[in-house]
Amino acid sequence: MAALARAKDLRIYVGGKIIVKGLDLVVKSGSMHLIVGRVGSGKSLVLKSLAGVAQLYGGIEIRGLLEVTGSSPLEAMERGEVVYVPHDPTSMLSVRSLVAAGSLRREMMAASEALMECLKIAERSRARLVLVEELSSYLDERQLPKAMEALRRIASRGGAVVIADHSEHPLAKYVDSVTYIDGGVEISKVVVAEPRRSGAASIRSLAVSYGSRIVDLSELDLDVGPGDVVGVAAPNARGKTTLVRALIGSAKVVRGTARLKGSVYVVPQIPPRLFAYPSIELEAKALSVDARALGEPWRSIAYRNPYTLSLGESRALMMQLALASPRKWLLVVDELALGLDDDVAKLFCEAIEDAASLGKSAIVTGKSRSDLRWLRSAEIVELS
């Protein structure tokens, strides 16, 4: 079969530093391919380059051979031959596409719902190459087989699919070939600061409204005080993100209460939405954190715009800033494992519990108990 995408000795530089080193890749029509790498290895950069998106970023340089459908990625993108589902799947959804699909408004969607909608759009398109980031992070065990069936249908009609993910499991059984990218972010330590005050949250008999849709969280009865860490485990679409939105006042509570005391810092599923400054150093300064006092890699890349980070890197950065800030008393992490490999997820779980010993509080959600398994001393609540 003909190659729909090809890379030879591909090198990608960000801010003059090489991230992807000499990658060779052949993606044939009719196939599904998986690229696996740790947080910061450059797998997202490879997908962005295949999509013709990275070429539009300032500070990114691409060297070596890179072809899509026999031409440059930019030309293939302009012909409508490529669909790219980024690590923020909601950014792909237009109002027109959502109305046509009869879906909820974009801002009300959980990331998993947005991703499934994006795959429907990709299947209806005439694109020959479909690129998807962090599939296993967003989808639970019920959704993943359906997503892979949709992607296989795209490949079966003569197209091709490339998935970039931090984990080979559970995707390897669905794909035809796998490429491993070496390297990645080595987080030397997580800096933890003692909070200036204590924070707390209380959730009682909660129900939240999205228009005519009611999300019932009445089984959740929680008090989170100074030094407490609570994990909430539930499948997708069961209300974890709704709980986070209710706590910060961005969802309409129609029954019960969700009360917050003190300052809160939320690490959402799509963190780039919350970056406010053009560099990591300025982002840290706004939270009373000296970027030079942080461990690696943040100290070395403090000049970088946080919007150039991958999903896993940006989530790790947000957690590090929240834990290092004396101003942030309650940390809320929506989908802890999203975009993070096991080593990084474990490191931050340990840091969250270290912060709890200093008086900080945390609410952490996951798709299952397995996602929260490194929270050794936390109370874990499962939603049915």
Q: Where are the domains of the chain?
A: 3-181, 200-382
CATH fold of 3-181? Rossmann fold (3.40.50)
Residue percentage of the chain with pLDDT more than 90:
55
What pLDDT band is residue 370 in, cutting at 50, 70 and 90?
A: very high
List the alpha helices (DSSP H) in the chain.
Answer: 43-51, 73-78, 95-101, 111-124, 135-138, 143-156, 240-247, 280-285, 311-324, 342-357
Q: How far apart are CA 166 and CA 217, in angstroms?
A: 31
Q: Which residues lie closer than 8 Å to 299 by C-beta, 6 or more apart? A: 291, 292, 293
What integer best gives the mean pLDDT of the chain? 88
CATH architecture of the domain with residue range 200-382: 3-Layer(aba) Sandwich (3.40)
Q: How far apart are CA 46 and CA 10, in angstroms?
A: 9
Q: What is the pLDDT of residue 90?
A: 67
Residues in a beta bridge with 200: 261
Q: How far apart are CA 42 and CA 20, in angstroms?
A: 6
Q: How far apart are CA 226 and CA 232, in angstroms?
A: 18
What pLDDT band is residue 99 in, cutting at 50, 70 and 90?
A: very low
Nearest in space to 351 (alpha carbons), one of 184, 189, 187, 195: 189
Least confident of 232-241, 269-278, 285-294, 301-310: 269-278
Q: Contact 232/240 with Cβ under 8 angstroms?
A: yes
Q: Contact 2/29 with Cβ under 8 angstroms?
A: yes
Q: Is the pLDDT of residue 332 over 90?
A: yes
Place of tokens 């949250």: 201
Strand ranges across the sheet with 3-14 = 17-28, 3-14, 60-68
Nearest in space to 253 (alpha carbons), one of 287, 202, 195, 298: 202
Tokens for 216, please give them.
């019932």
Is the pTM value of this prediction over 0.75? yes
Fold equal for 3-181 and 200-382: yes
